[in-house]
Chain A
Amino acid sequence: MLIDNFYKVLSSAHEDNEWHFEVVLPVSCHIYRGHFPEQPIAPGVCLIEMVRELSEQAIGRPLRITSITKCKFSALLLPSDTDVLQVNIRLLSSNDNEITIDASVCKQATTYTRMQAMLS
């Protein structure tokens, strides 16, 4: 994990081309000292990094983001030791050196982030 203690995976499941992870974002993560000093808010880029790392875990090899078609942040995400988030990663296409994914970070009906990206 690049940002130490940014997320903790509680469970994971996989069927066909979809992976589902349940995670929490611990409030004790040191990133919140600076983002922001008076109001901890999960940095959107850390969610992107979390999706990249979980994609590596799903696919089973190192992956680098080569393009982001679109990544939308719809709601502010506050860290919490108890709120369980769902990270959904759907593999849209894959060949020897590049994959395309559609990923989202949600809590029940709320979608915080949705991203379509290519990784290699």
Chain B
Amino acid sequence: MLTGEALYDLIPQRPPIVMVDALWSVGTDNAVTGLTIAADNIFVENGCLREAGLIEHIAQSAAAFSGYDAFSKGLPPRLGYIGEIKQMRIAGLPCVGSRLTTRLQVVAQAGMVTLMSAKVECEAPNTEKTVVAECQIKIFMTE
């Protein structure tokens, strides 16, 4: 649906910290995003994406979801911040070349605060899809 630098219309982050490269679908309370892990990703160490990269990918997926709403109204993306991460499980660190697909679901929303659940699946070349991370994330948006 939207890939690569087209995402820059939806999120305020810029290189070297852009951690989402696809917005596959957006609903009123859900979205599916993606990231292919490049070798030069700043959160890659010894060929794998570290925990911080996974969490930033989830946070920017939430930013893209919120940004899409603003974008569709002709507004620039707003800054959003992680307020809280809860019940996070990280099964493994995905390797360079794998593709992440992330499903976000709004759990609750009040004013500028959105609580979402996220599930990150990883597809490495020649292997089956596995869930690498799950969490609940609370995002604060600025005016």
Chain A residues at the B interface, C-beta cutoff of 8 Å:
2-3, 30-31, 33-37, 39, 41, 43-46, 48-49, 52, 64-73, 76
In the complex, chain A residues whose CB is within 8 Å of the CB of B90: 64-68
Question: How many angstroms from the CA of A113 to the CA of B90 in the assembled complex?
Answer: 20
In the complex, chain B residues whose CB is within 8 Å of the CB of A66: 89-90
Given A46-B52, A49-B50; A3-B42 close (CB under 8 Å): yes
Seed contacts A36-B12, A44-B81; 5 additional CB < 8 Å A-B pairs: A36-B13, A69-B86, A70-B84, A70-B86, A73-B83
Question: How many angstroms from the CA of A84 to the CA of B13 in the assembled complex?
Answer: 26
10 residue pairs A–B, Cβ–Cβ below 8 Å: A2-B43, A34-B14, A36-B13, A49-B52, A52-B51, A68-B86, A68-B87, A68-B90, A71-B84, A76-B81
In the complex, chain B residues whose CB is within 8 Å of the CB of A45: 52-53, 55-56, 59, 82
In the complex, chain A residues whose CB is within 8 Å of the CB of B86: 68-71
Question: How many angstroms from the CA of A33 to the CA of B87 in the assembled complex?
Answer: 31
A42 CB to closest chain B CB (Å) equals: 11
- Whether the Cβ atoms of A71 and B51 lie closer than 8 Å is no
- Which 7 pairs from chain A and chain B are nearest by CB? A34-B14, A68-B88, A49-B52, A45-B52, A34-B17, A65-B51, A71-B85
- Whether the Cβ atoms of A34 and B85 lie closer than 8 Å is no
